[in-house]
Homo-oligomer: A and B are copies of this chain.
Amino acid sequence: MEKILKLIEKDLKKLEHAIDSLDSTDVKIIKKMVNHIIKSGGKRIRPILVILTSKLCGFKGQKHIKYAAVIEFIHTATLLHDDVVDNAEVRRGSSTVNSLWGNEASVLVGDFLYSKSFELMSKDGNSKIIEAVSRATTILSEGEILELLKTSDPHTTEDEYFEIINKKTAILFSVACEIGAILARTDSKRKQLLKEYGKNLGIAFQLVDDLLDYTSYDDKFGKQIGTDLREGKVTLPLIHTLKYADEKEKEFIKEKLKQRSASTADFEKIKGIIEKYKGFEYTYDTTKRYIDKARGCLKGFGVSRYRDALLYLTDMMLTRKV
C-alpha cells in the first residue's frame, strides 16, 4: 500500500484538503459529525481509484481531486445510513454517529452529504459523470434494500448474494473508475474495461469483508467480528455451508440467524460448521476468481506505474486483514 500512497502522495494530500473544504456548511454540528466519520481512518480506496484511473488514462488536470472527494462523501453518506439500518454502534474502532448523536442526525447528515455531492458535481457541469454517479447511487440503494429484504433468510442463494454485493458495493468501485475514464476522455472500450475492473475489485472487496467478519479479530477489524451473523446477514461462507450442512447443523444456523443474537459460543460453533464444509476456502477461492477478472481488465493498458498500482490494489484485497 505504501507504494501506491507514495506514487500519488501529492494528490492524496490534496484529497484530504478537498474533503476538509468541500463539505462546507454554516451549520457547525454537521461539519463535526461529518468529520467524526470521514476522519476516522477510512482506507480511501474509492477516491484512490478515481485518482489512479484518471492518471492511467493520461488525465492532466486537477478535477479528479474534487471527484475523488465526492466519491468519498457519497461512500460516507451510505455508511451513515447503513449504521442506522444496522443499528451499528461501532465503526472503524469508534462510536458511530448514530450512537453519539442519534439515528435522526445520522439520516440527515447522510442526506446532507448526498446533496452536497450532487451540488459539487453540478457546479462542474460534466453531465456524463452526474449521470453515471446518480445511476450508481440509485442501484446502490436498490442493493441495500435487497439486502434488507434478505435479512435472516437462510434460503438466500448465491445469485441473490452476488446481486446484492454487486449493487451495494461493486457499483461505487466501478463508477469511481468510470469517473477517471470520463475525465480523461478515454475511448469507450477502455472505459468499459475500467468499469469492469472496478466492479470485480469491489466484489472481491466485499467478499473479503464478509470473510473477515468471521475470521478477523475485533481489535484489527475496527468493528466486532460476527456482526453479520448477529445482524442476520447471510453471506457467502454461510450460503455455501447451508448447501452442504446436515439437518441438525442447518437448523442451528437458521435458528441463530432468526434470533439475531448469537452468543460468542454460538458464533464459534457456527464458525466450526463453516470450517467443516470449507465455507471460508470457498469464499477465498471465489475472491481469487474476481481478482483474476479484475487483473484481466488491465491487460489492455500499457505498462505504467498507475497500472502497477491498480494491479497492486487487487493483491491487497487478498492479503488484507482489516
Contacts and interface: CB of A to CB of B under 8 A. Distances in A.
Nearest to A129: B122
Interface stretch (A26-34, A56-64, A266-274): A26-34
A141 B111 contact: yes
A145 B115 contact: no
A176 interface: no
Contact of A119 (B85, B111, B134): B134
Nearest to A78: B111
Interface stretch (A101-109, A181-189, A221-229, A255-263): A101-109
Contacts of A115: 114, 134, 137-138, 140-141
A130 interface: yes
A95 interface: no
Interface string A122-141: 11010100110011011011
Contacts of A110: 111
Given A29-B149, A125-B127, A108 B135 contact: no
Contacts of A111: 81, 110, 114, 137, 140-141, 144
B103 A84 contact: yes
B138 A131 contact: no
A130 B122 contact: yes
A23 to B, nearest CB: 10
B112 A138 contact: yes
A146 interface: yes
A239 to B, nearest CB: 20
Interface string A205-233: 00000000000000000000000000000
Interface string A20-40: 000001110110000000000
A130 B118 contact: yes
Interface of A is mostly: helix
A148 interface: yes
B107 A84 contact: yes
Contacts of A102: 148
Contacts of A135: 119
A14 interface: no
Given A30-B145, A121-B134, A125-B131, 17 more contacts: A27-B145, A27-B146, A81-B107, A81-B111, A84-B103, A85-B103, A85-B108, A107-B107, A108-B145, A108-B148, A111-B114, A111-B141, A112-B141, A114-B114, A115-B137, A118-B130, A119-B137
26 contacts: A25-B138, A25-B142, A27-B142, A27-B146, A29-B149, A30-B145, A81-B108, A84-B84, A84-B107, A85-B108, A105-B148, A108-B148, A109-B145, A110-B111, A111-B137, A111-B140, A111-B144, A115-B134, A115-B140, A118-B130, A118-B134, A118-B137, A119-B134, A119-B137, A119-B138, A122-B127
Q: Lowest 4 CB-CB distances: which A-B pairs, in order?
A: A118-B134, A115-B137, A119-B134, A115-B138
